[in-house]
Chains A and B, each alone.
Chain A
Amino acid sequence: AQTVTQSQPEMSVQEAETVTLSCTYDTSESDYYLFWYKQPPSRQMILVIRQEAYKQQNATENRFSVNFQKAAKSFSLKISDSQLGDAAMYFCAYRSRGGADGLTFGKGTHLIIQP
Protein backbone atom coordinates (compact mmCIF):
# COMPACT_ATOMS: atom_id res chain seq x y z
CA ALA A 1 0.00 0.00 0.00
CA GLN A 2 1.13 3.51 -0.70
CA THR A 3 1.83 5.98 2.08
CA VAL A 4 2.17 9.75 2.00
CA THR A 5 4.10 11.66 4.64
CA GLN A 6 3.98 15.37 5.36
CA SER A 7 6.56 16.05 8.03
CA GLN A 8 5.63 19.68 8.73
CA PRO A 9 2.43 19.93 10.81
CA GLU A 10 2.61 23.72 10.61
CA MET A 11 4.49 26.33 8.62
CA SER A 12 4.51 30.10 8.89
CA VAL A 13 5.56 32.65 6.25
CA GLN A 14 5.49 36.41 5.89
CA GLU A 15 3.15 37.82 3.30
CA ALA A 16 4.90 38.20 -0.09
CA GLU A 17 7.61 35.71 0.85
CA THR A 18 8.13 32.19 -0.53
CA VAL A 19 7.41 28.99 1.35
CA THR A 20 7.98 25.33 0.53
CA LEU A 21 5.84 22.50 1.88
CA SER A 22 7.35 19.03 1.94
CA CYS A 23 5.84 15.70 0.96
CA THR A 24 7.35 12.26 0.59
CA TYR A 25 5.63 9.09 -0.50
CA ASP A 26 6.30 5.42 -0.64
CA THR A 27 5.29 3.28 -3.59
CA SER A 28 6.52 0.38 -5.67
CA GLU A 29 4.70 1.65 -8.75
CA SER A 30 6.35 3.50 -11.60
CA ASP A 31 3.37 5.38 -12.96
CA TYR A 32 1.10 7.48 -10.79
CA TYR A 33 -0.27 10.94 -10.09
CA LEU A 34 0.58 13.34 -7.29
CA PHE A 35 -1.58 16.22 -6.14
CA TRP A 36 -1.61 19.13 -3.74
CA TYR A 37 -4.99 20.11 -2.32
CA LYS A 38 -5.79 23.22 -0.32
CA GLN A 39 -8.40 23.20 2.45
CA PRO A 40 -9.27 26.70 3.72
CA PRO A 41 -11.42 27.22 6.83
CA SER A 42 -14.51 26.81 4.62
CA ARG A 43 -13.58 23.09 4.56
CA GLN A 44 -13.77 22.86 0.76
CA MET A 45 -11.01 20.71 -0.79
CA ILE A 46 -9.51 22.64 -3.70
CA LEU A 47 -7.06 21.18 -6.20
CA VAL A 48 -3.91 23.32 -6.34
CA ILE A 49 -1.67 21.40 -8.71
CA ARG A 50 -1.12 17.95 -10.16
CA GLN A 51 1.92 16.08 -11.43
CA GLU A 52 2.05 12.97 -13.58
CA ALA A 53 4.95 10.75 -12.65
CA TYR A 54 6.00 10.04 -16.24
CA LYS A 55 6.49 13.75 -16.88
CA GLN A 56 9.93 14.99 -15.89
CA GLN A 57 8.94 18.63 -16.07
CA ASN A 58 7.72 20.09 -12.81
CA ALA A 59 4.14 21.36 -12.85
CA THR A 60 3.43 25.06 -12.37
CA GLU A 61 0.20 26.93 -11.76
CA ASN A 62 0.71 30.68 -11.41
CA ARG A 63 2.38 31.22 -7.99
CA PHE A 64 2.38 27.50 -7.21
CA SER A 65 5.04 25.12 -8.41
CA VAL A 66 6.30 21.70 -7.43
CA ASN A 67 9.69 20.07 -7.13
CA PHE A 68 9.12 16.47 -8.15
CA GLN A 69 12.03 14.15 -7.42
CA LYS A 70 10.89 10.71 -8.55
CA ALA A 71 13.94 8.75 -7.41
CA ALA A 72 13.77 10.34 -3.98
CA LYS A 73 9.97 9.98 -3.89
CA SER A 74 9.64 13.61 -2.97
CA PHE A 75 6.99 16.10 -4.08
CA SER A 76 7.30 19.54 -2.50
CA LEU A 77 5.05 22.54 -3.13
CA LYS A 78 6.48 26.02 -3.47
CA ILE A 79 4.24 29.02 -3.00
CA SER A 80 5.72 32.28 -4.24
CA ASP A 81 4.58 35.76 -3.25
CA SER A 82 2.45 34.35 -0.42
CA GLN A 83 -0.91 36.01 0.06
CA LEU A 84 -3.28 36.08 3.01
CA GLY A 85 -5.71 33.95 1.02
CA ASP A 86 -3.13 31.16 0.88
CA ALA A 87 -3.67 30.45 4.58
CA ALA A 88 -5.09 26.93 4.76
CA MET A 89 -4.36 23.27 5.34
CA TYR A 90 -2.42 21.76 2.45
CA PHE A 91 -2.66 18.07 1.69
CA CYS A 92 -0.37 16.04 -0.50
CA ALA A 93 -2.06 13.09 -2.22
CA TYR A 94 -1.03 10.08 -4.31
CA ARG A 95 -3.00 8.17 -6.87
CA SER A 96 -2.08 5.07 -8.85
CA ARG A 97 -2.53 5.25 -12.59
CA GLY A 98 -5.25 2.77 -13.33
CA GLY A 99 -6.22 2.59 -9.67
CA ALA A 100 -9.91 2.91 -8.95
CA ASP A 101 -9.56 3.30 -5.19
CA GLY A 102 -9.02 7.00 -5.06
CA LEU A 103 -6.33 9.13 -3.49
CA THR A 104 -4.07 8.44 -0.53
CA PHE A 105 -3.58 11.58 1.55
CA GLY A 106 -0.92 12.84 3.92
CA LYS A 107 -1.92 14.33 7.27
CA GLY A 108 -1.59 17.88 6.03
CA THR A 109 0.42 21.02 6.74
CA HIS A 110 -1.22 24.05 8.30
CA LEU A 111 0.09 27.15 6.52
CA ILE A 112 -0.05 30.46 8.38
CA ILE A 113 0.50 33.72 6.53
CA GLN A 114 1.87 36.55 8.68
CA PRO A 115 0.78 40.02 7.48
Chain B
Amino acid sequence: NAGVTQTPKFRILKIGQSMTLQCTQDMNHNYMYWYRQDPGMGLKLIYYSVGAGITDKGEVPNGYNVSRSTTEDFPLRLELAAPSQTSVYFCASSYQETEAFFGQGTRLTVV
Protein backbone atom coordinates (compact mmCIF):
# COMPACT_ATOMS: atom_id res chain seq x y z
CA ASN B 1 0.00 0.00 0.00
CA ALA B 2 1.84 3.09 -1.27
CA GLY B 3 -0.36 5.72 0.44
CA VAL B 4 0.20 9.20 -1.00
CA THR B 5 2.82 9.50 -3.73
CA GLN B 6 4.22 12.81 -4.93
CA THR B 7 6.53 13.45 -7.83
CA PRO B 8 9.05 14.91 -8.29
CA LYS B 9 10.88 15.05 -4.94
CA PHE B 10 13.07 17.98 -6.00
CA ARG B 11 12.84 20.53 -8.78
CA ILE B 12 14.55 23.76 -9.80
CA LEU B 13 12.54 26.12 -11.98
CA LYS B 14 13.48 29.34 -13.67
CA ILE B 15 11.32 32.40 -13.13
CA GLY B 16 8.38 32.34 -15.52
CA GLN B 17 8.47 28.61 -16.17
CA SER B 18 5.50 26.36 -15.44
CA MET B 19 5.29 22.89 -13.98
CA THR B 20 2.88 20.35 -12.55
CA LEU B 21 3.40 18.58 -9.25
CA GLN B 22 1.82 15.15 -9.38
CA CYS B 23 -0.03 13.53 -6.50
CA THR B 24 -1.79 10.19 -6.37
CA GLN B 25 -3.27 8.19 -3.50
CA ASP B 26 -4.38 4.58 -3.37
CA MET B 27 -6.43 4.68 -0.17
CA ASN B 28 -9.70 5.64 -1.87
CA HIS B 29 -9.83 8.84 0.17
CA ASN B 30 -12.34 11.39 -1.00
CA TYR B 31 -10.59 14.45 0.42
CA MET B 32 -7.25 15.66 -0.96
CA TYR B 33 -5.13 18.72 -0.22
CA TRP B 34 -2.10 20.69 -1.29
CA TYR B 35 -0.04 22.50 1.33
CA ARG B 36 3.11 24.54 1.18
CA GLN B 37 5.67 24.76 3.98
CA ASP B 38 7.99 27.74 4.21
CA PRO B 39 11.01 27.80 6.55
CA GLY B 40 10.04 28.33 10.17
CA MET B 41 6.36 28.10 9.37
CA GLY B 42 3.69 25.49 9.59
CA LEU B 43 1.86 24.18 6.57
CA LYS B 44 -0.51 26.46 4.71
CA LEU B 45 -3.36 25.17 2.58
CA ILE B 46 -3.22 26.02 -1.12
CA TYR B 47 -6.18 24.07 -2.55
CA TYR B 48 -8.38 21.20 -1.50
CA SER B 49 -10.87 18.82 -3.04
CA VAL B 50 -13.72 16.84 -1.52
CA GLY B 51 -14.13 14.56 -4.50
CA ALA B 52 -13.63 14.15 -8.23
CA GLY B 53 -14.65 17.27 -10.10
CA ILE B 54 -14.78 19.48 -6.97
CA THR B 55 -11.98 21.80 -5.91
CA ASP B 56 -11.78 24.89 -3.74
CA LYS B 57 -9.25 27.52 -2.71
CA GLY B 58 -7.40 27.39 0.56
CA GLU B 59 -5.47 30.10 2.36
CA VAL B 60 -2.77 30.77 -0.29
CA PRO B 61 -4.11 29.86 -3.77
CA ASN B 62 -2.62 32.67 -5.86
CA GLY B 63 -0.29 31.44 -8.59
CA TYR B 64 -1.58 27.87 -8.49
CA ASN B 65 -4.25 25.76 -10.13
CA VAL B 66 -5.58 22.28 -9.47
CA SER B 67 -7.83 19.72 -11.05
CA ARG B 68 -9.41 16.51 -9.76
CA SER B 69 -10.60 14.32 -12.58
CA THR B 70 -10.32 11.07 -10.61
CA THR B 71 -10.49 10.07 -6.94
CA GLU B 72 -6.82 9.06 -7.00
CA ASP B 73 -5.11 12.05 -8.62
CA PHE B 74 -4.82 15.69 -7.59
CA PRO B 75 -2.15 17.54 -9.58
CA LEU B 76 -1.00 21.06 -8.68
CA ARG B 77 -0.05 23.40 -11.51
CA LEU B 78 2.29 26.33 -11.09
CA GLU B 79 1.96 28.95 -13.81
CA LEU B 80 4.67 31.58 -14.31
CA ALA B 81 6.85 30.51 -11.41
CA ALA B 82 8.06 33.26 -9.07
CA PRO B 83 10.75 33.22 -6.35
CA SER B 84 7.97 33.52 -3.74
CA GLN B 85 6.87 30.02 -4.73
CA THR B 86 10.13 28.52 -3.50
CA SER B 87 8.89 26.15 -0.82
CA VAL B 88 8.27 22.55 0.12
CA TYR B 89 4.94 21.28 -1.20
CA PHE B 90 2.95 18.51 0.41
CA CYS B 91 0.02 16.61 -0.97
CA ALA B 92 -2.26 14.88 1.54
CA SER B 93 -5.45 12.89 1.62
CA SER B 94 -8.03 11.90 4.20
CA TYR B 95 -11.21 9.98 4.58
CA GLN B 96 -13.54 12.91 5.17
CA GLU B 97 -12.59 14.96 8.25
CA THR B 98 -10.24 12.50 9.90
CA GLU B 99 -6.45 12.69 10.06
CA ALA B 100 -4.59 13.50 6.87
CA PHE B 101 -1.94 11.26 5.35
CA PHE B 102 0.91 13.05 3.64
CA GLY B 103 3.19 12.44 0.71
CA GLN B 104 6.94 12.86 1.10
CA GLY B 105 6.95 16.41 -0.21
CA THR B 106 8.48 18.23 -3.17
CA ARG B 107 11.24 20.76 -2.60
CA LEU B 108 10.82 23.45 -5.26
CA THR B 109 13.34 26.20 -5.88
CA VAL B 110 12.55 29.06 -8.27
CA VAL B 111 15.63 30.95 -9.47
Residues of A within 8 A of B (CB): 4, 9, 33, 35, 42-45, 47, 50, 91, 93, 95-103, 105-108
Contacts and interface: CB of A to CB of B under 8 A. Distances in A.
Interface of B: 31, 33, 35, 40-45, 48, 50, 56, 58, 88, 90, 92, 94, 97-102, 104-105, 107
A9 B31 CA distance: 31
Could you say which of B35, B42, B98 has the most chain A C-beta atoms within 10 Å of its C-beta? B42
B95 to A, nearest CB: 12
Given A97-B97, A102-B92, A107-B41, 12 more contacts: A43-B107, A44-B105, A45-B90, A45-B92, A100-B56, A101-B56, A102-B35, A102-B45, A103-B100, A105-B42, A105-B44, A108-B42
The B contact surface, by secondary structure, is strand
Contact of B97 (A4, A91, A98, A108): A98
A48 to B, nearest CB: 10
A100 B42 contact: no
B60 to A, nearest CB: 12
30 contacts: A33-B98, A33-B99, A35-B99, A44-B102, A44-B105, A45-B90, A45-B92, A45-B102, A45-B105, A47-B101, A50-B99, A91-B42, A95-B97, A98-B97, A99-B97, A100-B31, A100-B48, A100-B50, A101-B48, A102-B35, A102-B48, A102-B92, A102-B100, A103-B43, A103-B45, A103-B100, A105-B44, A106-B42, A107-B40, A108-B41
